[in-house]
């Protein structure tokens, strides 16, 4: 079955709010084996909405619309769908009662336009909205399933999960699952070159590479009659990819690199402390999002100024004078200093130029050094990152975690 999602709302087109509904709905449909071929966004304009719905009705088995179910003049989703299908709108008594009760509980008079929300196309059934006043609509017309849901995700999502997905799953005979493999230290082009024969011959599962924040992911997606069969289709392809490029593999699915580092700390019973300059505590923030990390993360220091590097981390004044605050030598001394002052097994540091100002021809914006220190080794790596200030900070932290992950693994070998 082919599904399509139509998001209705001028505010979406203007970028005033993100269209998160499409992502939520697509994920839910994938799990019950429904292919989503199209996402469309259209403003609060009946003529354009009519054109979009007409196209969807001719090419898809399932059309899910979000938004445009409210009480105002520009809420036109039900009216447009009913008009295209030549259906009249009728009052749903249960929904009308709920709307009246909603206003009565708040001691407010119900306005005439609120009655509009209780109207549904002839032959349709309502989906109760437990979070708001606008009911959803479920309609089966000429073999097509049409679902209309409110725009606010807090209202839409419970209706989707509790009613729409169970209804649609009864009509499906397959499931779709994905397995995501996460890599670091190899570029998208190099990874694709290693796997080009698998990618060119892909059928089921499909193989999709994606690069993001210095990492590369491979998404394997299989369709089968049930979840176990789909997993069995994915497994040999995953094994072959791991055999070829497993040295760069660090996680799966929703794994993050900070979670991977935390698991290694837990497993090896190692403690860590972090000294950050240009990233302003972002690495510590990400690490402290992980439950149980307090046993292994001793402290984080934001040593933004040269003075703080010297006073808190014992970086030598001569080092900064000779090599600069952004240098391999300073990064090493920062990592050593935070380790020794914190009495931890591992010290890690980040120092760099996040921009947009502060760069020179010798040390441009995006230059970052990441330092590492343990009782047996001291190490620093140089990086050059592109992007805005926040991008450079994110990439720096991501790379720091990967450096720590690599070094910690060697401690356990």
Helices (H), 32-90: 46-59, 77-84
Q: Are the C-beta atoms of 138 and 147 separated by less than 8 Å?
A: yes
Q: What is the CATH number of domain 175-252?
A: 3.30.70.2860
Domain(s) of CATH 3.30.70.2860: residues in the chain: 175-252
Q: Are the C-beta atoms of 87 and 123 separated by less than 8 Å?
A: yes
Domain 257-412 has CATH 3.90.950.20: yes
**d(C-alpha 399, C-alpha 388), whole Å:** 16
| The total number of residues written for the chain in this structure | 413
Q: Whole-model pTM? A: 0.77
Domain(s) of CATH 3.40.980.10: residues in the chain: 2-169
Phi and psi at 189, nearest 5°, equal -65, -45
Per-residue confidence in pLDDT tens, the chain, 413 aa? 899 999 999 999 999 999 999 999 999 998 888 999 999 999 999 999 999 999 999 999 999 999 999 998 889 999 999 999 999 999 999 999 988 888 888 888 888 888 899 999 999 999 999 998 899 999 999 899 999 999 999 999 999 999 999 999 988 888 889 999 999 999 999 999 999 999 999 999 999 999 988 899 999 999 998 999 999 999 999 999 999 999 999 999 999 999 999 999 999 999 999 999 999 999 999 999 999 999 999 999 999 999 999 999 999 999 999 999 999 999 999 999 999 999 999 999 999 999 999 999 999 999 999 999 999 999 999 999 999 999 999 999 999 999 999 999 877 66
Domain(s) of CATH 3.90.950.20: residues in the chain: 257-412
Q: Are the C-beta atoms of 327 and 369 separated by less than 8 Å?
A: yes
**d(C-alpha 99, C-alpha 94), whole Å:** 9
**d(C-alpha 288, C-alpha 390), whole Å:** 19
Level-2 CATH architecture, domain 2-169? 3-Layer(aba) Sandwich (3.40)
Q: How many CB atoms lie within 10 A of CB 244?
A: 13
Residue 179 neighbours by CB under 8 Å, 6+ apart: 219, 220, 221, 231, 234, 238, 252, 253
């Amino acid at each position: 079955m082919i599904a399509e999602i139509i998001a209705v709302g001028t505010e979406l087109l203007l970028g005033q709010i993100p269209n998160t509904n499409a992502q939520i709905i697509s994920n839910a449909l994938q799990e019950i084996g429904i292919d989503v071929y199209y996402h469309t966004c259209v403003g609060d304009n009946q003529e354009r909405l009519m054109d979009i719905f007409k196209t969807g009705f001719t090419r898809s088995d399932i059309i899910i619309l979000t938004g445009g179910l409210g009480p105002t003049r520009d809420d036109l989703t039900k009216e447009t769908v009913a008009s295209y299908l030549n259906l009249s709108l009728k009052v749903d008594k249960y929904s009308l009662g709920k709307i009246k009760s909603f206003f009565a509980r708040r001691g407010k008079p119900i306005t005439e336009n609120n009655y509009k929300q209780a109207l549904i196309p002839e032959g349709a059934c309502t989906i109760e909205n437990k979070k708001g006043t606008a009911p959803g609509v479920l309609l089966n017309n000429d073999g097509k399933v049409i679902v209309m849901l409110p725009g606010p995700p807090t209202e839409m999502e419970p209706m989707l999960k509790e009613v729409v997905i169970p209804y649609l799953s009864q009509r499906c005979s397959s499931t779709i699952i994905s397995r995501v493999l996460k890599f670091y230290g190899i570029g998208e082009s190099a990874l694709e070159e290693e796997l080009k024969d698998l990618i060119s011959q892909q059928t089921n599962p499909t193989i999709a590479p994606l690069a993001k924040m210095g990492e590369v992911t491979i998404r394997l997606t299989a369709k089968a009659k049930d979840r176990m069969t789909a997993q069995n289709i994915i497994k040999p392809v995953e094994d072959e990819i791991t055999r070829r490029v497993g040295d760069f593999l660090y996680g799966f699915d929703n794994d993050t690199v900070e979670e991977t580092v935390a698991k290694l700390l837990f497993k090896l019973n190692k403690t860590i402390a972090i000294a950050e300059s240009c990233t302003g505590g972002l690495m510590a923030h990400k690490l402290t999002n992980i439950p149980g990390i307090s046993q292994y993360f001793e402290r984080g220091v934001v040593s933004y100024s040269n003075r703080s590097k010297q006073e808190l981390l014992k970086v030598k004044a001569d080092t900064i004078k000779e090599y600069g605050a952004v240098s391999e030598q300073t990064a090493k001394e920062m990592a050593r200093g935070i380790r020794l002052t914190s009495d931890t097994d591992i010290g890690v540091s980040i120092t760099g130029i996040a921009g947009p100002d502060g760069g020179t021809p010798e040390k441009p914006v995006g230059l970052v050094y990441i330092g590492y220190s343990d009782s047996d080794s001291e190490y620093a790596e140089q990086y050059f990152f592109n992007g805005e200030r926040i991008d450079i900070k994110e990439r720096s932290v991501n790379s720091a975690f990967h450096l720590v992950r690599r070094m910690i693994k060697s401690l356990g070998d």
